[in-house]
Amino acid sequence: MIAYFCSMIQSHRASFLQHLGQTSPFPLMLEVVDARGIFLYGPNGEQWMDLISGIGVNALGHADPDIVKAVQEQAARFMHTMVYGEYVLAPQVLLAELLAKHLPESLNCTYLLGTGTEATEMAMKLAKRYTGRRQFIAAENAYHGSTQGAASLMSPTTFTQAYRPLLPGIHHIRFNNLTDLDKITKDIAAVIIETVQGEAGVIVPHANYLQALRAKCAETGTLLILDEIQAGFGRTGNLFAFEKYGIVPDILLLGKAFGGGMPLSAVVSSREIMITLSDQPILGHITTTGGHPVSCAASVAAFNKLISENLIAQVAEKEALFRQLLIHPAIRDLRPAGLWFAIELASFDQVQKVVAHCLANGVIIDWFLFNDRSLRLAPPLIITEEQIRVACAVILGGLDNLSQASINC
Ligand code: PLP
């Protein structure tokens, strides 16, 4: 029976290539039949440690029993009932209340969507309506999503050149560069920026950078939109990454881990700002399945667990252990932000070799969209000390295998 089941699964590989749209000519093709805790399992008994959390999603690991229970109970009660925003649905309300409880007073109103890129799109529309302005500033090497508005914010044109024309009126500043803040004028509707840059390779803001940015936005009446789709929900050692920097954005974007493994994103702002999208015209932004009740139930369960199990308080200690273990002559730079690391090597070739070594030894790591010289690590926050030691031993083994010549190059 098991053999029959496995052969059925095996046959999915050919079909995957034939019938599913591909994002690149070289998909990883890892076949997953089960996932628990920090592990993924393949059809032939393979076990992989997921050190990237499905790109920052599975903060509580896979198949967390409380999240699964919440999903099952909500699915049995009701799933979709009406487009977002019309009916009063307990999972959405409970989630919005939780956010309001844990966020500063001015971030008290939440609009729920499905994906991170939708949150970016919606926030851009909101900023246009609230300010009456049309131009935006984004940081170089930022990633805010792949739909056309969000993609317009990208500075490297590698991924966007073929899709022009995109939105006009987008300007770029260098992350952490104080001089560039002079580009923020009264013509700019919003600055949209990641609190910690992810796809650029885990770049944390310098001391006072975000305060200076906040002050410049306030001076020019420009909204500050912080994208914490990847950085939020405990990843950096605070529930929200901006808490560390003593500032409050006008608009906060959440996604990925926020959904507890289900598709969910949010735009959080003040009621005063949010209300502008609901009138003249009405239905300024609508989504059919955004804030899906099952996703919201998963999110509430994940949120409660993150808080009750004190997982965020353990992030600093676990980060310190990674830092202590990840010492090797091939590492040019180690950039941590809580349980999120960029391990910079000398070349993309080295990165590929280490990623392949890790995969062959049961550990999944990756690189970054705009930084292919760095290894990406973003393990589930539930990772244990023992698992960190095992993971680092495998990574160090991959680094040992790099030839001395390539390390010195
Ligand atoms: N913003 C940031 C910072 C991200 O890292 C991502 C995805 O990686 C997005 C937005 C887009 O989210 P999604 O892929 O859910 O559309």
Please report the DSSP string for 43-112 in residue order: TTS-EEEESSHHHHT-TT-BS-HHHHHHHHHHHHH-S--SSTTSS--HHHHHHHHHHHHHS-TT--EEEE
For residue 223, give Cα distances in angstroms to 104, 143, 237, 243, 365.
16, 19, 26, 18, 36
Other Cβ atoms less than 10 A from the Cβ of 94: the count is 16
How far apart are alpha carbons 386 and 383 in whole angstroms? 8
Q: Dmax over Cα atoms in the chain, in whole Å? A: 68
Using DSSP's 3-state secondary structure scheme, residue 276 falls into: helix
How far apart are alpha carbons 8 and 113 in whole angstroms? 35
Q: How far is the CA of 259 from the centre of ligand 1 (A)?
A: 13
**394, 386 contact by CB (below 8 A):** no
Provide CB contacts within 8 A for 359, sequence distance 6+.
30, 48
For residue 277, give the DSSP letter: G
**219, 252 contact by CB (below 8 A):** no
Which residue of 55, 155, 227, 229 sits with most ligand 1 atoms within 8 Å of its CB, as the best mutation to test the pocket? 229
Structure tokens given for 362 = 């049961």
pLDDT in the model for residue 6: 47
Q: How far is the CA of 360 from the centre of ligand 1 (A)?
A: 28
121 lines ligand 1 (CB under 6 A): no
**122, 285 contact by CB (below 8 A):** yes
How far apart are alpha carbons 382 and 64 in whole angstroms? 10
Closest to 51 measured CA to CA, from 321, 345, 399, 388: 388
344 lines ligand 1 (CB under 6 A): no
Which residue of 52, 57, 144, 242 sits with most ligand 1 atoms within 8 Å of its CB, as the best mutation to test the pocket? 144
pLDDT in the model for residue 156: 85
Q: What are phi and psi of 202, to 5 degrees?
A: 50, 75
- From the alpha carbon of 263, which atom of ligand 1 is closest? 15
pLDDT in the model for residue 1: 40
Provide CB contacts within 8 A for 272, sequence distance 6+.
none
How far apart are alpha carbons 151 and 141 in whole angstroms? 12
Other Cβ atoms less than 10 A from the Cβ of 103: the count is 18
380 lines ligand 1 (CB under 6 A): no
116 lines ligand 1 (CB under 6 A): yes
How far apart are alpha carbons 215 and 222 in whole angstroms? 10
Per-residue pLDDT tens listing for the chain (409 residues): 444 444 455 569 889 999 999 999 999 999 999 999 999 999 999 999 999 999 999 999 999 999 999 999 999 999 999 999 999 999 999 999 999 999 999 999 999 999 999 999 999 999 999 999 999 999 999 999 999 999 999 998 889 999 999 999 999 999 999 999 999 999 999 999 999 999 999 999 999 999 999 999 999 999 999 999 999 999 999 999 999 999 999 999 999 999 999 999 999 999 999 999 999 999 999 999 999 999 999 999 999 999 999 999 999 999 999 999 999 999 999 999 999 999 999 999 999 999 999 999 999 999 999 999 999 999 999 999 999 999 999 999 999 999 765 666 5
Using DSSP's 3-state secondary structure scheme, residue 178 falls into: coil
pLDDT in the model for residue 271: 98
